[in-house]
């Protein structure tokens, strides 16, 4: 499967494509131990390691052990476990580093700044006015959008919480 031509990729089953992605995924190699990392936490479902390109000291990334490119590819149970682990890691960073806060984010898709083909949750220790930009390649921040003009010009629909709850089940 390593030397496939573009036309061969079209003929792969979803399972074969996922296996190929896993074989070429740096985070799957880290999880398997083929690539060294500085582990912060590990259990049967997730691995938390120090980021090799940290935004600040103590920047931790949490990766599910199941190969998934984006969150919707994880099961509900895996997603819940990642979220609980994120909460625990964030709390440990806040307490252990005595920092002012943490930024927690997941980039899904190239447009959102995702650089690796594996779900990654970033937990970044923060201090007030630390100068950290979550998307440094975006450069200067644009001016704030006038929310009033958007509300007046755009039709809005209230979120039906019952429907949202049903969809989440």
The mean per-residue pLDDT over the stretch 93-122 comes to: 93
Q: Is residue 155 one of the residues assigned to a domain?
A: no
Query: What is the number of alpha carbons within 13 Å of residue 110 lying toward its C-beta?
Result: 0
The DSSP bridge partners found for residue 60 are: 50, 123
Is-contact 20 14, C-beta < 8 A? no
CATH number of residue 39's parent domain? 3.30.428.10
Q: Which of 20, 97, 17, 29 is nearest to 57 (CA)?
A: 97
Q: What is the pLDDT of residue 163?
A: 58
Between CA 138 and CA 129 the distance in angstroms is: 18
Q: Is residue 122 one of the residues assigned to a domain?
A: yes
Structure-derived torsion over alpha carbons of residues 28, 33, 35, 37, reported in degrees to the nearest 10: 100
pTM, to two decimals = 0.73
Residues in Cβ contact with 100 at an 8 Å cutoff, skipping those fewer than 6 apart: 126, 127, 128
- pLDDT bin (cut points 50, 70, 90) of residue 58 is very high
Task: For residue range 132-154, list pLDDT tens digits in order.
Answer: 886 555 455 444 444 444 444 44
Q: Is residue 146 one of the residues assigned to a domain?
A: no
Q: Is residue 161 one of the residues assigned to a domain?
A: no
- CB atoms closer than 10 angstroms to residue 48: 23
Q: Is residue 167 one of the residues assigned to a domain?
A: no
Q: Is residue 10 one of the residues assigned to a domain?
A: yes
- pLDDT bin (cut points 50, 70, 90) of residue 23 is confident
Please give the tally of structural domains in the chain.
1
Give the domain range for residue 125: 6-141
Q: Is residue 164 one of the residues assigned to a domain?
A: no
Q: Is residue 67 one of the residues assigned to a domain?
A: yes
């Amino acid at each position: 499967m390593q030397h496939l031509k573009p036309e061969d990729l079209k003929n792969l089953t979803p399972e074969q494509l996922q296996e190929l992605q896993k074989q070429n995924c740096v985070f799957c190699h880290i999880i398997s131990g083929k690539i060294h990392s500085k582990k912060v936490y590990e259990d049967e479902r997730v691995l938390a390691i120090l980021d090799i390109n940290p935004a600040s000291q103590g920047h931790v990334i949490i990766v599910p052990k199941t190969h998934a490119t984006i969150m919707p590819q994880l099961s509900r149970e895996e997603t819940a476990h990642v979220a609980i682990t994120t909460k625990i890691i964030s709390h440990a960073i806040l307490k252990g580093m005595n920092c002012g806060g943490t930024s927690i984010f997941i980039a899904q898709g190239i447009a959102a700044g995702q650089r690796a083909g594996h779900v990654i949750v970033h937990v970044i220790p923060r201090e007030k006015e630390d100068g950290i930009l979550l998307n440094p390649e975006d450069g200067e921040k644009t001016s704030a959008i006038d929310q009033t003009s958007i509300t007046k010009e755009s039709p809005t629909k209230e979120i039906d919480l019952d429907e949202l709850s049903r969809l989440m089940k």
